[in-house]
Amino acid sequence: MNNRDMLIIKNSWSQVIAQPDNPAVLFYENLFAEAPYLIAMFQSDLEQQQAKFSAMITYMVMHLQTMPDIQTQIEAMGKRHAKYGVKPEHYALVGKVLINTLETTLGDYWDMETAEAWTNLYDVWASAMLNAAEAG
């Protein structure tokens, strides 16, 4: 990931989390609208899950320059998700919903460069999580 993409991601995420509402609320609303069958996977407190989701993305965005340093945490997250029943095909759906949520939240600040940077980053994260899940 190049420095320009990192800057785009950091700037856009700082705008997302500056919103009065937690972006994860919209993310999960969109996810469940797209795939209602996934609601059953979220047995725990959804509000707590939303907070974890936003915190994890913030953490990973803060560590873009040192992503190898958090690789173990990304892989552990992939293994945990596999135990929760997340299947490989869910990653594409989550990526699509994440990108759509970011686009909605950022409004006029969303452009092709931002879309490409976030899509590439999500692909890196998802690949690392999937590989770890498959490796067990």
Residue 51: which CATH number? 1.10.490.10
- The predicted model scores a pTM of 0.92
DSSP letter string, 45-103: -HHHHHHHHHHHHHHHHHTGGGHHHHHHHHHHHHHHHHHTT--HHHHHHHHHHHHHHHH
Residues 64-112 pLDDT 10s: 999 888 989 999 999 999 888 899 999 999 999 999 999 999 999 999 9
How many CA atoms are closer than 13 Å to the CA of 84, on its beta-carbon side? 16
DSSP designation for 19: S
Coil, strand or helix at 27: helix
Q: Each residue of 26-56: pLDDT tens digit? A: 999 999 999 999 998 887 788 898 999 999 9
User: ∠ CA(35), CA(39), CA(42), 5° rounding?
Assistant: 135
For residue 23, give its domain range: 3-135
Number of domains in the chain: 1
What's the one-letter identity of residue 21? D
